[in-house]
Structure 1
Amino acid sequence: MSKKMNNSSIVFILLSAVFFMMGCGGDYIPKPNGYIRFDLPEHEYKTLKDSCPYSFEIGTYSVIEQVNAQEPCWKNVFIKPTRGRIHLSYKAVNNNLKMLLEDAHSMVYGHTVKADAIEEQVFLKPGRRVYGVLYEIKGDAASNIQFVATDSVNHYLRGALYFRAAPNKDSLAPLVKFARKDIEHLIETLHWE
């Protein structure tokens, strides 16, 4: 009797395995990778004005972080909804504008290893003496947006957007788009003191 049980158990197991293998027929369609959906707020702005020789507007959802005691006008703008930071570096121009601009250019184009493209947008605001370039670095670069602004005589401000995440152009795209609008607004509202 135990032989019969064993044989019927084996037959049952084999038939079950065949049934499950046959039941998985049909064409398999791979699903695309999904990305997190971000609920980002409307863009609203407030003026940042402190002891530094510049002022501009940042998002009401953003926070200013002091980063260097020796350089009090080097700041981070932490954009809370995106968890991204715009690293700002201010320098007084002292017959060194060409060098500062060349440094910024080399920092931007140092990303060409990972960049698919680098687009430049020029900002000219002669009434406020603001001249700048915004660089959008497309692809899986560490910094997707960088900019420089100057009055070409006394002031120089450089900014770079970073996220604390592995570079992935697809998943970061909505955050970069949101931050770009804030950065463009920052440049548009920049005033030298």
Structure 2
Amino acid sequence: MKLYRKLSILLFLLIAFTAISCKKKYTPKPKAYYRIDFPAKEYQNWNSDFPYSFDLLSMAKIEKDASKGAEKYWLNIQYPDYRATIHLSYKTVDNNLEEYLEDSRKMAYKHSIVADAIAEQVYFNDTNKVYGMIYRIKGNAASSVQFIATDSTSHFLRGALYFREHPNQDSLAPVIQFIDKDIVRLMESLKWE
């Protein structure tokens, strides 16, 4: 009787395992993101009654910064298709360049809490007297690229790229790379008026 019971249990387990293993295996699908098509880049020179001018991607839109506390020469460069904005703030240098540089560095490094890394790229253009720094912030930070430009005597310009989306490095990476090239072009074409 004991042998019969053991064989019955063994047979039951064998049938149960066979029935369970016959089901189709489930494999989770990898996470996917929308494909983003980028237009060919065409630039135009943006020049106004501001103390600076630069080349701007033709699809980008310039708006005067209307936020509380905004100053006269502050701008927002909008990328409506990508829900992105480069916030530009301009200051006149009056023996306070060190203060502006340190404030900008602190603002970039505030993202170090969530950043995987922050890469700094020094920028020099002796012809146009533009000297600066580009901060590329890796990871799920609110601002992926920040930059500063100055002539070290009279002008100081700071920019920061923000998205109107929850920061997700994986899905935003192609757009960040696309706009990063525009930021480099802005720095290369920047002229003080």
TM (norm. structure 2) is 0.86
- Alpha carbons 2:83, 2:165 under 8 Å: kept: no
In 2, Cα distance between equivalents of 1:61 and 1:180: 15
Secondary structure, in 3 states, of the residue corresponding to 2:178? helix
Gap regions ≥5 residues in structure 1: 1-17
Corresponding residue SS for 1:157? strand
The size of the alignment, in residue pairs, is 174
Q: Which residue pairs with 1:133 in the alignment?
A: 133
Partner of 2:8: none
Who is 1:163 aligned against? 163
Task: Give the C-alpha shift of residue 81 in structure 1.
Answer: 3.2
Residue matched to 1:175: 175
Alignment of 1:5-154 (within 5 A): 25-68=23-66, 71-154=71-154
After superposition, the Cα gap between the structure-2 partners of 1:28 and 1:150, relative to the gap in structure 1 and judged at 3 Å, is: same
Q: Is the 8 A contact 1:40 1:81 kept in 2?
A: no
Following superposition, the deviation at residue 139 of structure 1 comes to: 0.1
User: In the aligned structure 2, how far is the partner of 1:150 from the partner of 1:142?
Assistant: 24
Contact 1:44 1:60 in 2 (8 A): yes
Q: Distance between the aligned counterparts of 1:80 and 1:59, measured in 2?
A: 12
Aligned-pair distance for 1:84?
0.7
Deviation digits for residues 65-96 of structure 1, max 9, x if unmatched? Answer: 11148622100001233221000000000000
Q: Which amino acid is the alignment partner of residue 146 of structure 1?
A: Q
2: CA distance between counterparts of 1:27 and 1:107?
49
Q: Secondary structure at the match of 2:81?
A: coil
CA RMSD in angstroms comes to: 1.7
**Distance between the aligned counterparts of 1:160 and 1:137, measured in 2?**
11
Unaligned runs of 5+ in 2: 1-15
Q: 1-side partners of 2:22 and 2:86: how far apart? A: 51
